[in-house]
Amino acid sequence: MTANEFREVALSFSGTTEGAHMRHPDFRANGKVFATLGYPDEAWGMVKLTPNDQRQLIEQHPQVFAQIKGAWGLHGSTSVRLATAKREILVQALELAWQNSAMDSPSKSRKAKVR
């Protein structure tokens, strides 16, 4: 997975906009960041998951996902190692993150499920 492929997938979700946050690209739904690129460096991306989705993806794909340190990580911010991420796994993670941000309320059901 490259940064450009990550960007392409993130921008494929309806209503997604690209901006910048702390000098690196971010992707937003309903004005809320659901993913970023380039932190801590160009080899990484980030997806904002629920803590449960984060746990499941890290357990299933530890070579791809890692919890970000500190409070952000405890709330679901998850690093993505671009070099080890397969497209289908990244699509799943980005879709989960996008749905969390795109939804009006957290009580609505989500289409995507962690497999």
> CB burial class (10 A; 0-12, 13-18, 19+) of residue 86?
exposed
pTM of the model: 0.87
- CATH top class, domain 3-102: alpha beta
Q: What spatial distance separates the first Cα and last Cα of the chain, rounded to whole Å? A: 20
The 10s digit of each residue's pLDDT in 57-97 is: 999 999 999 999 999 999 999 999 999 999 999 999 999 99
The 10s digit of each residue's pLDDT in 96-107 is: 999 999 885 444
Residue type, 90: L
Strand order in the sheet with 24-29: 17-21, 24-29, 32-37, 44-48, 77-81, 65-67
For residue 78, give the nearest of 42, 114, 48 by alpha carbon. Answer: 48
